[in-house]
Structure 1
Amino acid sequence: MANLKLQGSIYHARLTVPKDVRDKFGNKAEMWRTTGTGNKRLAAIRGAEMVAAWKREVLSARNGVDVTEWTKSWAKQLRSSSVLPMDDDALPGYKSPSERELAELVMIDQLEDMVQDQRFTVPQAKDAFEVAIGQRAILADYKEDYMAQYRNHGIKTKAAYQAAVERFVNQFPDDHSVTPKALKAWVTSMVDEEELAAKTVTRMMNQARSFWAYLVDHEIVADAPNTAAFAQMKVPKTAKKQESVIPFSADEVVSILRSPVAVEDPQLTLLITIAMYTGARIEELAMLKRSDLDFKLEVINFRGTKTKAAVRTVPMHPVLIPILSGIKGEDPYVIDGLNTDGRGERGKALGKRFGRLKTTMGFIPRRQVFHSIRATVATQFEQAHVGEGVAADIVGHEKKTMTYGLYSGGSSLEQKRDAVHKLKYPPLVPL
């Protein structure tokens, strides 16, 4: 081992300190420490642990100490270390330490040094030690790995799951804090203090259960007793019920389009116009690209942002064809000029503008929203006797029945075109 040197009868570990960080190590050119043995094989194992720890100190000196990364690194090393004695040929009466025991000793020495140098606080050092040896798991460290399983889900679904998991790990920093009493208090606070609707609280609880099951499956946390505590979580009876969305009438949709605010806002006008002839969700419309428009077949290919059913082909209503074909400019999106937020969404600003507009026009708060246009389309389909399966294929709803949902290949383009042509509104421009 290059980092090992025999002095007298005892081997010593050593590491050359890089010049750029020597001032943080007392201007030492080299770090030395005895391995405490003259057995070269045993010294090589002990020396490797010491050198690894020194290298982490060098990295920390260059970049500052990242407690999370430092702890992850040690936790990984401890998990891979053998618990068996390293030297089977030890002298009588001498118990050879294991790789794991030596690694823990080196880690403790390093923690003490960093506390002494004020690079770790005492609580940080205590937490880091417990996490590294597997006594505690920092839940936030695993949320990104957990969310990776949803990479093929729609944008809205991923965003909802991400928000739920972040809420959970913010409330419960480690596995020890997840207790039956704390879980009950968490759910109660969402209902009584935040006044979240029962449906929202249920979604939070379901994601918490799913995240915990992931941690159990990957042996990050213990199964009992918390799995049972999750199973017993219930939405308090005091939780308010989420009020259902009320559809706009066809006249109301057009009145919004004719309003001075919408007339002066081409992005909002285009959003509403496409929605009223497709039933599409706001984020689906915001993410719609010009390459998704097929004027040869006269269809719109929605890529979906929520479920697999949201990926669909919708025929263009005759009113939409001249509007969509007349879009100019270099922006790849149908509704141009929108910013993409940190979650990859483009429709929030438009949604807020629509919300302010319909509120000033006196529509019912929380019940008449942009999604109400989607309900308008569904209502028109039902009143025109369009089959539920055809309507679901157009608006991007999952089919609940076994026959249509599992076995059917879906509605034909002609069936959908016939249904779309049944959507009727007053003239967009007053006669």
Structure 2
Amino acid sequence: MPKANNLELQGGTYHVRLDVPRDVRDSFGGRRILSQSLRTGVHKEALDRRLPILAAWKAQIKAAREGRALPESWKEDVSAAIDQVDQWTQQAKRARIGEDGTAMPTPDPEDLRKAMEDPKLVAVLTSLIERRRSEPMGMIKLEDDLAALGKQFIEHQISSSHRLSAQQSQELETLVKDPASYKARSPITRVRLASFRTYRLEHHVALKTVNQQESKLLNLSEHLQTTGTKLDFDSVSAWLQGMKLSSKTKQQYLLAGSQFWQWAMTHEPQWRQTFKGHVNPFEKHTLPTLKGKAKLDAKRKAFTVEEVGTLYKAAKEQNLGALPDLILLGGYTGARIEELCQLRKEHLITVDGVTMFDIVDSKTVAGIRQVPVHPNLTALVDRLSESSTDGYLVPTGSNNKYGIRSDALSKAFGRLKTTLGFDRTRVFHSIRATVITSLVRADVPDRLIKELVGHETGTVTFDVYSNGSSPKQKFDAIAKLPTIPTD
């Protein structure tokens, strides 16, 4: 029994002591008394110091009595435990009839000791063994009895050590009877996706890319949750097969999954533990590929110079805002649509007497470049510069959540080219192909073409060591582009 005021003087130092109620001793490692030195021999100080310690102990006792809240993975844990009991039972039955099987796991010594100290359990086991021993195939039936006891024990352990709602109690009972009824919770949780998002944004991955890949991962997570399947190669393969998408798009889904997997294996300890020894389930998938004529037919195609003129005139006739000017800018530079929409007045520079577009932001490093203003663009560029109200050469009311200014103009172009009879293989980017084709046919060197349109040459000599062609060389090349018919 603890002393008065839960204090006891030991060798001139006071200790605070508290009896542990019998019903919660297991939660305290079997201890009967909690004791802690107060490091003082002064009674008044000991009275004050004991209070927070006693309060903490009593809170722990209350929590032990009320039971802990179920962990997030409790259904998965119970299902796995019941499934393991069934596997052990089958192994034991095979051993009873002399079949070779997987060796049975060795019971935990502490669990075995506690079980043998329970007189009720010992009595039940003894009764079962005696009853089954006298029956035909009794020892086989005994294994089923032991399995039933094991499942009851699991259910009792969960219900006695945790705080369960009425619904959770019903779910626990159902799981114990039928573990297959549990549909595995997807490991691709919103919490993990939020951490993945933060990590990628901190590493300067574009917000649009982050959002698109997160959407793909949520799609996979929903598939795993709905089907109740685990995250493995087969479930990913089934997920892909269920989507009516092109192989190219499916490859983007696999890329999103693979990047998430690599991040989780590096930064998520629980993920590493769960998937230890597993291969990346997003790798080595074989997707259908187009070949021969089918591949050629699906490939994006260049417009002819005459078709670019047709697009310009139609955009002009339909009064589609800045779109006619944008088409001409694309047709005389080969620049990407967003590169053109990001051009500002200060990006019109003069280098060695040549007026150039200074493209300071692009999707690639090679895309950051300087492109001469074609002679046929001079008047247009002067007009756009003089009329600009916000500093941008191309006026547009579009500025979506990713800061993309070309969004509305790109959609307007899509509608325009469709009305003119062009199929999905022709897009604004096809004008870029028109320019490249024209430069090739004008005998402009391959290296110079790549400099103008923002492609790497693929050689260390030019990509690393060379400062590139001179402004005059670039101007002479651009000037070879044929005139786009606008009348």
Amino acid at match of 2:216: R
**Tell me, what secondary structure is at the counterpart of 1:200?**
helix
- Kindly indicate whether residue 435 of structure 2 is the aligned counterpart of residue 377 of structure 1: yes
1:23-422 equivalences in 2 (<5 Å): 39=36, 138=189, 139-148=192-201, 150-151=203-204, 159-160=208-209, 162-172=211-221, 177-190=230-243, 194=244, 196-220=245-269, 221-222=271-272, 223-236=275-288, 243-259=298-314, 264-294=319-349, 297-327=354-384, 328-363=387-422, 365-422=423-480
Higher helix proportion, which one?
2
Q: 8 Å contact 1:159–1:343 — kept in the other structure?
A: yes
Q: 2: distance between equivalents of 1:404 and 1:246?
A: 28
Please tell me whether the aligned partners of residues 366 and 454 of structure 2 are also in contact (alpha carbons under 8 angstroms): yes
Question: Over residues 13-41 of structure 1, what are the superposed CA-to-partner deviations in whole Å (9 max), with x where a residue is unaligned?
Answer: xxxxxxxxxxxxxxxxxxxxxxx956378
Give the C-alpha shift of residue 291 in structure 1: 2.4
Is the alpha carbon distance of 1:422 and 1:218 closer, same or farther for their aligned partners in structure 2, counting shifts above 3 Å? same
Consecutive unaligned residues of structure 2, counting only runs of 5 or more, are 8-15, 19-32, 39-49, 61-71, 73-161, 173-185
Match of 2:481 among 407, 418, 423: 423
Shift of 1:248: 0.9
Q: Counterpart in 1 of 2:105? A: none
Name the counterpart of 2:128.
none
Distance in 2 of aligned mates of 1:387 and 1:369:
26
CA contact (8 A) 1:292 1:300 kept: yes
**1:281 Cα offset (Å):** 1.0
Q: Supply the distance in 1 between the matched residues of 2:218 and 2:54 (Cα, whole angstroms).
A: 38
Helix, strand or coil: the match of 1:141?
A: helix
- Give the aligned residue type for 1:341: N
Distance in 2, matches of 1:335 and 1:266, equals: 10
Do the aligned partners of residues 207 and 150 (structure 1) sit closer, same or farther apart at CA in structure 2, a change above 3 Å counting? Answer: farther
- Relative to structure 1, the CA distance from residue 150 to residue 301 in structure 2 (aligned partners, 3 Å threshold; closer, same or farther) is farther
Counterparts of 1:185 and 1:358, CA distance in 2: 37
Q: Does the CA-based 8 Å contact 2:396-2:409 persist in structure 1?
A: no
Q: Is 1:147–1:162's contact at 8 Å kept on the other side of the alignment?
A: no
Structure 2: which amino acid aligns with 1:338?
A: G
Percent identity, please: 28
Inter-partner Cα distance in structure 2 for 1:209 and 1:188: 17
Task: Tell me the equivalent position of 2:152.
Answer: none
Query: CA contact under 8 A between 1:254 and 1:425: conserved in structure 2?
Result: no
Q: Secondary structure at the match of 1:369?
A: coil
Q: How many equivalent pairs are there?
A: 321
> Contact conserved, 1:165 with 1:211, CA < 8 A, in 2?
no
Would the aligned equivalents of 2:258 and 2:280 in 1 still touch at CA under 8 Å? no
Report the alpha carbon displacement of residue 185 of structure 1 after superposing the two structures with TM: 1.1
Q: CA deviation at 1:290?
A: 2.3
> How big is each residue's C-alpha offset from its partner over 1:27-84, in whole Å with a ceiling of 9 and x where there is no partner?
xxxxxxxxx9563789669959x89xxxxxxxxxxxxxxxxxxx9xxxxxxxxxxxxx
Letter of the 1:286 partner, please give it: C
Distance 1:411 1:263 in 2: 40
SS in 2 for 1:346: coil
Partner AA of 1:148 in structure 2: L
Residue segments in structure 1 that go unaligned for 5+ positions in a row: 1-6, 13-35, 52-70, 72-110, 124-134
C-alpha distance after superposition, 1:380-403 (max 9, x if no partner): 110011111111111112223444
Q: Is the 2:216–2:256 Cα contact (8 Å) retained in structure 1?
A: no
Which amino acid counterpart does residue 227 of structure 1 have in structure 2? Answer: V
CA RMSD in angstroms comes to: 4.0
TM-score by length of 1: 0.63
After superposition, what is the alpha-carbon deviation per residue over 1:350-371, rounded to whole angstroms, capped at 9, x for unaligned? 11111111111112x1111111
Higher Rg of the two aligned structures:
2
Question: What's the counterpart of residue 12 of structure 2?
Answer: none
2: distance between equivalents of 1:271 and 1:295? 22
Question: In structure 2, what residue type is equivalent to 1:417?
Answer: F
TM-score between both structures, scaled by the size of structure 2: 0.57
Match of 2:36, as an amino acid? N
The 3-state SS of whatever aligns with 2:208 is helix
Q: Is the 8 A contact 1:257 1:263 kept in 2?
A: no
* Cα distance in structure 2, aligned partners of 1:303 and 1:259: 31
Q: CA deviation at 1:412?
A: 2.5
Q: Is the 8 A contact 1:146 1:211 kept in 2?
A: no
Query: CA contact under 8 A between 2:303 and 2:434: conserved in structure 1?
Result: yes
Deviations 1:126-180 (A, max 9, x none): xxxxxxxxx95623222313422651x6x5xx63464134302331269984222
User: 1:356 corresponds to which letter in structure 2?
Assistant: R
Q: In 2, are the aligned partners of 1:188 and 1:236 still within 8 Å (CA)?
A: no
Please give the per-residue CA displacement for 1:332-359, whole angstroms capped at 9, x wherever unaligned: 2222232211222121211111111111
**Contact 1:315–1:417, Cα closer than 8 Å, also in 2:** yes
Partner of 1:88: none
Distance in 2 (CA, whole Å) between partners of 1:336 and 1:372 is 22
* SS state at 1:144 partner: helix
The whole-number CA distance in structure 1 between the counterparts of 2:429 and 2:324 is 15
